[in-house]
Structure 1
């Protein structure tokens, strides 16, 4: 019985690594592989073993001929899915170049050796800004563990000064924090939770955290009425503070940007052949003004007048 179980696992492993929709393994191929791994059986045993694997849901395609051929028709991920995941890993600013390569290689093993080679030939680890700190990968793991265990964490937090030196926040004292969620936004990881120092729910960027310790203290319970989507919209999408309806005059080619930023249900209407109007609800802040400014006049704030004045005042101050 032990040898039968081992044989089934070896057959499955061989089919996983060496077959796909375009590549088959013959009965002889499987027998040779088993022999190389110290397992002997005859040719008549293989069809029965394949049937047992199919009985438990393994998708193996059989092609009957003078010598039967077999292939694992579907792996855990399809080839496009693996490619998508590898591209996400490679382009992420959060994951170091070294870790990106390691993860991409592991993901390529979710396919056959033939598909893996295709993927590796197309691997591109982005040269965009990537962190040097390998510890970031493990900071996320520690935070996730604390969330699952319902425990508080403590950590150091820092920012960069004008000399690109790390400067500790909070006078170098550790923050005590009850983590609720890890949120990915604008290619950065943030932890959302209750901060003891601020006495409210807030966020910290994970790559600015150091020396995370999981404490014995239970986390402060999450408020029952806390809504994560609403909170992240407030923090990350220009809704932090008092909301106000603002009218924007936009060039037609910028509709994609408006929809990407404010969603499919944003209120818009054409104004002339070249422009449309968008009415959006935002927090009137530097974050919002900076977003408008990047379009170099192709998006203009037209209403309310107080917001128009504040934006002009900000521009005038910037030119002084």
Structure 2
């Protein structure tokens, strides 16, 4: 290919060069820019490159800054669509999302790195670390989300197989491997997981389903049902109710705690909660939660500096939960040699 035959792509190649090879810490002189263009079989005059810089700013919002360093003039990209700090936030969000598999996390991070220069990408790569936390293994979760949204937009029911983990760390089908057919109404993000909120005709109630546990989704020809039930489900309040996806009654509970633990409750319930002083060292708060074993386990894990003080029936339910747990500590030894206790 003769030199200069790619001239019609000059602006595209110039944008790529400036976005990939320059940033606030790295810049190129005009001779260096022209040399980089030659790698794409493009020859260009300085005047035309200056005009391209203007087009990049006016048409694409890519600002090229000029900096004089002694006798040489350097050029680099100034404002980007995504700044490095923003890309780091995106990377952190990808890494912390349990519903994104390790493989897909790495793929997404590689794509996100294209928003910054190759030099910034290298520093970002040092930040990338996949630890041993649980990551979803359903690689099709992205397509599941897209399929559910399509069904919602087309007002159609969906069918799918729903899975759970077994003791061998394998996904096994629920409901005797029968198809689930439901009417999807909304997708929501709760406790680091995607959930589909849908109406189940057979059970005649609104239920939630983990999207990463759904497989082989297909859209049916049947129109959705359960609109009235979904409206009564009050999704706005459910999304604000902690532990909402674990089943149980939604209740307003009162919790007493040492003031040193106030940050725990602010992190969990947000800054809109109100603290009521009890004495110099203790306060109380009222908050809506879904009363479940998950809630009791979380509360129990905070230790004796936290107390559930109301309502009475929920307090009694917690006592029964703790009693059942303490009783379960005494269980038959695997070898049949009597009981294993907490003191063993």
Change (3 A) 1:118 1:165: closer
1:242/1:283 contact within 8 Å kept: yes
Give the stretch that moved more between structures: 72-81 or 212-221.
Answer: 212-221
Shift of 1:113: 0.9
Shift of 1:80: 0.8
In the alignment, structure 1 residue 62 sits paired with structure 2 residue 57:
no
Q: Which residue of 1 is the match for residue 42 of structure 2?
A: 39
Shift of 1:94: 1.6
Per-residue CA shift, 1:183-241, capped at 9, x if unaligned? 22222211122223333332100122121112233434745946432132358448966
Change (3 A) 1:217 1:272: same
Q: Which residue of 2 is the match for residue 250 of structure 1?
A: 257
Aligned mates of 1:43, 1:283 — CA distance in 2? 67
Q: CA RMSD in A?
A: 2.8
Q: Which residue of 1 is the match for residue 191 of structure 2?
A: 186
**How many residues in Structure 1 have an aligned counterpart in Structure 2?**
319
Q: Per the alignment, in what secondary structure is the counterpart of residue 159 of structure 1?
A: strand
Q: Which residue of 2 is the match for residue 301 of structure 1?
A: 308
Aligned mates of 1:243, 1:90 — CA distance in 2? 31
Q: Which runs of 5+ in 1 are unaligned?
A: none
Give the stretch that moved more between structures: 277-286 or 117-126.
Answer: 277-286
In the alignment, structure 1 residue 17 sits paired with structure 2 residue 24:
no
Q: Which residue of 2 is the match for residue 72 of structure 1?
A: 77
TM-score, L = length of structure 2: 0.81
2:199/2:207 contact within 8 Å kept: yes
Q: Which residue of 2 is the match for residue 110 of structure 1?
A: 115
Q: Per the alignment, in what secondary structure is the counterpart of residue 275 of structure 2?
A: strand
Consecutive aligned runs of 4 or more in structure 1 exceeding 6 Å deviation: none
Query: Which runs of structure 2 are paired with 1:101-140 in the superposition (5 Å)?
Result: 101-140=106-145
1:248/1:278 contact within 8 Å kept: yes
Give the stretch that moved more between structures: 280-289 or 26-35.
Answer: 280-289
Per-residue CA shift, 1:225-277, capped at 9, x if unaligned? 46432132358448966554433221122212222333323232222333212
Q: Per the alignment, in what secondary structure is the counterpart of residue 109 of structure 1?
A: helix
Change (3 A) 1:245 1:12: closer
Q: Per the alignment, in what secondary structure is the counterpart of residue 101 of structure 1?
A: helix
Aligned mates of 1:59, 1:263 — CA distance in 2? 39
Shift of 1:166: 4.1
Q: Per the alignment, in what secondary structure is the counterpart of residue 44 of structure 1?
A: helix
1:91/1:125 contact within 8 Å kept: no
Aligned mates of 2:120, 2:263 — CA distance in 1? 35
Q: Per the alignment, in what secondary structure is the counterpart of residue 37 of structure 2?
A: helix
Q: Which runs of 5+ in 2 are unaligned?
A: 328-344
Aligned mates of 1:123, 1:243 — CA distance in 2? 39
